[in-house]
Amino acid sequence: DAEITQSPRHKITETGRQVTLACHQTWNHNNMFWYRQDLGHGLRLIHYSYGVQDTNKGEVSDGYSVSRSNTEDLPLTLESAASSQTSVYFCASSLGLAGAKVDNEQFFGPGTRLTVL
């Protein structure tokens, strides 16, 4: 069955370190998204991609970067981890295709809990 996976599921790191969170989907979806979830804020969009070599900033992109070299993967990198980036991170994907009759339903991974000490 098609799925979307995230690794690691839990990560503890120190302030200033570079951290990369992996996201891999086997739906063959064009679109991929990264969100962070914090109490009282719901889900906030960090970065997203509409296809290979395409990346876009979301509402909370500062301190994060992504790259899309293939359809299946969209790794999220924290360049220099800060305590404010302690959060639960979710990856999602959707079929995409601009102009097509699709409804933008997103499929979510299980999440990565990141703690920055």
Partner 1 sequence: AQSVTQLGSHVSVSEGALVLLRCNYSSSVPPYLFWYVQYPNQGLQLLLKYTSAATLVKGINGFEAEFKKSETSFHLTKPSAHMSDAAEYFCAVSDLPGNTPLVFGKGTRLSVIA
- Contact residues toward partner 1 (CB under 8 A) are 30-31, 33, 35, 40-43, 45, 48, 50, 58, 90, 92, 96-111
In the complex with partner 1, which residue's Cβ is closer, 4 or 19? Answer: 4
Q: What is the smallest separation between the CB atom of 112 and partner 1, expressed in angstroms?
A: 10
In the complex with partner 1, which residue's Cβ is closer, 30 or 87? Answer: 30
Q: What is the smallest separation between the CB atom of 85 and partner 1, expressed in angstroms?
A: 19
Find residue 89's DSSP bridge partners.
Answer: 36, 112
> Which residue do the tokens 């991929």 mark?
32
Question: How crowded is residue 81: how many other Cβ atoms within 10 Å of its Cβ?
Answer: 21
Q: What angle do CA 60, 62, 115 make, to 5 degrees?
A: 80
Q: What is the smallest separation between the CB atom of 15 and partner 1, expressed in angstroms?
A: 25
Q: Which residues contact 98 (CB under 8 A, 6 or more apart)?
A: 50
